A and B are shown apart, each in its own frame.
Chain A
Amino acid sequence: MPAVSKGDGMRGLAVFISDIRNCKSKEAEIKRINKELANIRSKFKGDKALDGYSKKKYVCKLLFIFLLGHDIDFGHMEAVNLLSSNKYTEKQIGYLFISVLVNSNSELIRLINNAIKNDLSSRNPTFMCLALHCIANVGSREMAEAFAGEIPRILVAGDTMDSVKQSAALCLLRLYKASPDLVLMGEWTSRVVHLLNDQHMGVVTAAISLITCLSSKNPDEFKTCVSLAVSRLSRIVSSASTDLQDYTYYFVPAPWLSCKLLRLLQCYPPPEDGAVKGRLVECLETILNKAQEPPKSKKVQHSNAKNAILFEAISLIIHYDSEPNLLVRACNQLGQFLQHRETNLRYLALESMCTLASSEFSHEAVKTHIETVINALKTERDVSVRQRAADLLYAMCDRSNAKQIVAEMLSYLETADYSIREEMVLKVAILAEKYAVDYSWYVDTILNLIRIAGDYVSEEVWYRVIQIVINRDDVQGYAAKTVFEALQAPACHENMVKVGGYILGEFGNLIAGDPRSSPLVQFNLLHSKFHLCSVPTRALLLSAYIKFINLFPETKATIQEVLRSDSQIRNSDVELQQRAVEYLKLSSIASTDVLATVLEEMPPFPERESSILAKLKKKKGPGAVSVELEDGKERGELNGGGDRGVPDLTNALSTPSPSADLLGLRSAAPVSGAAPSAGSLLVDVFSEAGPAAASAGVNDDGFLRFVCKNNGVLFENQLLQIGIKSEYRQNLGRMYLFYGNKTSVQFVSFSTTLNVQTKTVEPLVEGGAQVQQVINIECLTDFVDAPLLNIKFRYGGALQNISLKLPVTINKFFQPTEMAAADFFQRWKQLSQPQQEAQKIFKASHGMDTEVLKAKLLGLGTALLENVDPNPENYVCAGVIQTKAQQVGCLLRLEPNAQAQMYRLTLRSSKDTVSQRVCDLLAEQF
């Protein structure tokens, strides 16, 4: 827009503005403005007609006063009058005033719209542009309503000037963004797309902004733009720097247009047409090649423009994620930037590499830059760059380099900025857990983490260590030893004390053999930290002490002494006091047996998604998705594409849960976007409640396999696969059912019915997707028949109906009981009534391998008692079945006869039905 030229200057306005600038105080300014307003009011009174010049001048003054922050409630009419002037400057001021000060006065809006309409239909391109700019600046709904139909016509009309076309395209873009429902492209679509072929580069640049916005909303309609964009891009890329004259910026041909074209292409998947694709790949290669050429100019603008195109091209390559060659080249290019002088470039390179790292093709290539990235993490001056470097390290981490990366991040943590420490801690914790091959390494890492950055270790991190240590027997001893050593440091962080207290309390016995870490030493070590800790930690330590009493009876006196001291038993904190009192009483009253039961080792934690990961995601916010999540998403997309999802799914279901993936990523369905969990339902398993169980279609071949195991595939046919994962504790159980659709078509009106009580599942199962259902189970009394699960769904047109026995059997509610030989035989004799015993002699249907037998008996849920039976060949087990009504003690004896391939199974329990049922169940297993 041409500025007001000097000859055209308004002296009055200049004087007024300089007066205001010279005002000493606010009051003086207000006085001057009041005076001017009164003057303008008297001029606008309407007695005499004003000429265009003075009208323009006064409107300008009003505008200036408004921009100083004063209310203006008149002069609109004069401004609208200016719109109909024929002079450019007057019209311009009129439009300026309208776009700054328009209010929804209906009467005025009509006049304004009229004036705009006149200008739009005039042949004068500058007037048309002014009108379009005004529409875009106001951009209100009313404007959109009035002109949304008109502007596309101007945009595609053959005789419209180029400059007007540009304005029209941008104006339309603005209206579309403000009120998308009013801008209907419909018939104009193809002609708008063909603007990409326009002679004038400016028009193309403007149009492409519009098209990018439109096509991101409805990509199908604008599909044709891909090939046009590609050809345009290839023409620009291959042109010499002198071809495009006005549009060559520091020897780079049309950099803005190129960037926009590349961005437009990112709205679409890779072109299917081979020729187009070939041309595009060629373009991208050329861009990558050009980056290698020596710069044509030393000016920073030249390299900026070049790099802008390059980065846009790289993000397109990442978006396509299908050209390994290009991906690797992009990665190498970014690798060069990693060592560039320019900080911004390093930042951008790290950022793009983060996304590259998640692509399977370029992951390896990214990994080659690990040294540089680690160096960046250590030496970068700018904290945001260091942050990116940390992100990239996190993203490029896999099993092969986990140890290195974790070690580097740990060592960096000591000097890291406070702002990113917590995130770093979370990342280290996640990586250590995710890629832990050797759990002693994991324990070392996390303990180091707590030592280095204790303040930034959130609750979740140390919870997680404890979960993992408890769930894995093989590290418990090592963990106890390491924690013990770590605690010996004169000053250790409170989180360390927490972990130490918990682990020593649980597994202190594992290292008690060593005289250096004898029970008393352990206790004294823990207690030396006691006074430095906060209340929750002290409470935890008190619990650890009582566990010590159980583990090491010899410490009892010492610990009781501590508990009895005034600082515990009379502590002002209620929680601490209560614990002290209760633990003291517990230790002095309860017998060792009771104590042993109450203070038993913690049961393993159920597998669940790592809470650390959730925390990291929360921290990053929805904008910056962590790599895992993207991983998950991609997997979801792949599942949608074909049948790749199935092996994945079986994998997840059949592997024993903890080992496959510690994070519970793949087994916990909700993470992957494709499988939303269904509603959960509570099933009461009644003893004889169900109807005559085995109806005609009941499918129970899967059933028996689940007597001795909890996880696996329950059912599978061509269409559907049902996986089960279940956990039991006492008389309660939880069962996860995974319905996997093996086809690529969705199942409609999917429902499951249980013969007891039902709740609907998600009615749709997408092709290749998986739906999860949770069932909570409570055992009221002992029972024989398993609950029936009835599944109905429509596949294509046909109704499918499947009945299954849910593998809920009485033995699932076994609690193992350890007992000595004498104990066992005493109880065995107590249960000597004939109806309490059930016996079966049967032929072995599988091999008689001892290990297999042991595993099965353990899977049954009972405790396998060693050195009880005089004959070492025989197996003796004991357990208690927990139901809501009662507890049924159960003793088992299995006598294999290797020569005859026969077994004799004897069961004694306090309830006859139980003995019979368990005996029946077990007989099928061998």
Chain B
Amino acid sequence: MIGGLFIYNHKGEVLISRVYRDDIGRNAVDAFRVNVIHARQQVRSPVTNIARTSFFHVKRSNIWLAAVTKQNVNAAMVFEFLYKMCDVMTAYFGKISEENIKNNFVLIYELLDEILDFGYPQNSETGALKTFITQTGIKSQSKEEQSQITSQVTGQIGWRREGIKYRRNELFLDVLESVNLLMSPQGQVLSAHVSGRVVMKSYLSGMPECKFGMNDKIVIDKQGKGGGATGQSIAIDDCTFHQCVRLSKFDAERSISFIPPDGECELMRYRTTKDIILPFRVIPLVREVGRTKLEVKVVIKSNFKPSLLAQKIEVRIPTPLNTSGVQVICMKGKAKYKASENAIVWKIKRMAGMKESQISAEIELLPTNDKKKWARPPISMNFEVPFAPSGLKVRYLKVFEPKLNYSDHDVIKWVRYIGRSGIYETRC
């Protein structure tokens, strides 16, 4: 049960303060500022305990959102709520910035009243919220509309209102994954996992009943001989669904069926750790030449179908703290020494599969009287590839609307796969 919620700017000034429970005093606001925002050492833990009060914070650009409680709450719930809160705010006024928050503070208080009640999270579905919390002032609604809102908010399907009509029934599915890796210099995978989301954007009329199918190993195995031959299946470690998915059905038959909210929603979230396709391999070579020179050579290899193109590739090679000069030679892309970040940043716009590229750098060092050895932080990488590194495939998405006269075939469906890098590091 969240006791209170505060939003601070980067200086630690309070922009929004909403206290839900009496056990949270005014001094809690200052405690967080003093102990976290203005702390000498950077606070890395998202949960801080100050004087028997727990502070859960997330940071969006320069804005701190902190939920406060004195009770032993489910931390995951609190963070889920904070993320949801960010989503809602973004949906209402775009980027979360100090200025936006200041301009919309009335709205934010209104939202906070709606989505948290006495510290208990309530319906935070943007679509539903937008029907009764508007930015355009209060429209005088007819009795009918008002009762509709009430029945919708309190009814069984709170996330979708009735009577939606589209001329074209369209549906977009995005499979977004981020792949995380830690690799030893010899190329041994120390840890790797993919966390992915299936995001759905639907423009469907009426109250459509949908069914989603993917190459989940359990489902494929159950079907046995049928579809098993066509492609490989994946083992999903854990997954969570949007509230619209009928969990009882998932538990019983492992089928994902739901009535989607209108507009965008995150249908499911999952994580896999087995059989991950690593899109890139980084091979580092670091040689120390005397006390004042360092030679670095890094090779990257793309490891996917040659027909696909990876984009926005960025390799970040850390440099020692006593670097006094850097010379870089690369065959492809652009490389630059960024002193402010103590790293060489190598950027490549595009790269096809099964290719290889190389960078070499000479780093001059300033002799110091410090005996401390350089810790050699890992080389990290960013990229974007047009496939799912986990191997997930969407097998089908069927739409049934018994009341209206359109069938599954009339719906236009789009599927897109995007694989991004999470923390993708190789030790050197």
Contact = CB atoms under 8 A, between A and B. Distances in A.
A39 B10 contact: no
A107 B364 CA distance: 24
A24 B340 CA distance: 15
Contact of B366 (A24, A26, A44, A107): A44
A28 B341 CA distance: 10
B62 A74 contact: no
A73 B368 contact: yes
Interface stretch (B127-135, B168-176, B226-234, B322-330): B322-330
A39 B340 CA distance: 10
Interface in B14-44: 40, 42
B340 A31 contact: yes
B59 to A, nearest CB: 10
B369 interface: yes
Contacts of A105: 369
A44 B325 CA distance: 11
Contact of B324 (A44, A76, A103): A44
Given A41-B366, A74-B366, A35 B62 contact: no
Contacts of A73: 321-322, 368-370, 372
A25 B60 CA distance: 13
Contact of B323 (A31, A41, A108): A41
A25 B341 CA distance: 15
Interface string B355-372: 000000000101011101
Interface string A642-681: 0000000000000000000000000000000000000000
Contacts of A103: 369
Interface in B94-131: none
Interface in A10-30: 24-26
A62 B280 CA distance: 41
Contacts of B321: 37, 73
Nearest to B366: A41
B339 A45 contact: no
A421 B110 CA distance: 53
A41 B322 contact: yes
**Which of A24, A38, A41, A105 has the most CB atoms of chain B within a 10 A radius of its CB?**
A38
B62 A25 contact: yes
A23 to B, nearest CB: 10
Contact of B369 (A41, A45, A108): A108
A25 B10 contact: yes
A34 B364 contact: no
A107 B367 CA distance: 14
B369 A32 contact: no
A42 interface: yes
Interface in B305-354: 321-325, 339-342
Given A42-B324, A45-B324, A34 B341 contact: yes
Given A41-B366, A45-B364, A74-B368, A24 B62 contact: yes
A25 B325 CA distance: 27
Contacts of B372: 73
Interface string A105-118: 10110000000000
A45 B366 CA distance: 6
B62 A38 contact: no
Nearest to A32: B340
Contacts of B368: 73-74
Nearest to B370: A73
A105 B339 CA distance: 28
Contact of B339 (A39, A69, A74, A108): A39
Contacts of B341: 31, 34
A37 B321 CA distance: 9
A103 B321 CA distance: 19
Given A25-B10, A41-B322, A44-B324, A76 B340 contact: no
A35 B366 contact: no
A35 B324 contact: no
Interface in A848-899: none
A34 B323 contact: no
**Which of A37, A107, A108 has the most CB atoms of chain B within a 10 A radius of its CB?**
A37
**Which of B10, B339, B341, B364 has the most CB atoms of chain A within a 10 A radius of its CB?**
B339
Contacts of A45: 324-325, 364, 366
Contacts of A74: 322, 366, 368-370
Nearest to A103: B369
Contacts of A44: 324, 366
Given A24-B10, A31-B341, A42 B369 contact: no
Nearest to B371: A73
A44 B369 CA distance: 14
Interface string A93-128: 000000000010101100000000000000000000
A26 B322 contact: no
A31 B369 CA distance: 24
Nearest to A35: B340
A146 B341 CA distance: 43
Nearest to B343: A34
A41 B62 CA distance: 31
A108 B322 CA distance: 19
A26 B42 contact: yes
Contacts of B324: 38, 41-42, 44-45
Nearest to A44: B366
A103 B368 CA distance: 13
Contacts of B323: 38, 41
A159 B323 CA distance: 50
Contacts of B42: 26
A107 B10 CA distance: 44
Interface in A61-108: 69, 73-74, 76, 103, 105, 107-108
A547 B57 CA distance: 67
A584 B325 CA distance: 95
Contacts of A41: 322-324, 366
B196 to A, nearest CB: 29
Contacts of A24: 10, 62
A32 B322 CA distance: 16
Contacts of A25: 10, 62
Q: Which 6 A-B pairs have the closest CB atoms?
A: A38-B339, A31-B340, A73-B370, A41-B324, A35-B340, A45-B324
Given A38-B324, A45-B325, A73-B369, 15 more contacts: A24-B10, A24-B62, A31-B340, A34-B340, A35-B339, A37-B339, A38-B323, A38-B342, A41-B322, A42-B324, A42-B325, A45-B364, A45-B366, A74-B322, A74-B366
Interface of B: 10, 40, 42, 62, 321-325, 339-342, 364, 366, 368-370, 372
8 contacts: A31-B340, A32-B340, A34-B342, A38-B339, A73-B369, A74-B370, A76-B369, A108-B369
Interface of A: 24-26, 31-32, 34-35, 37-39, 41-42, 44-45, 69, 73-74, 76, 103, 105, 107-108
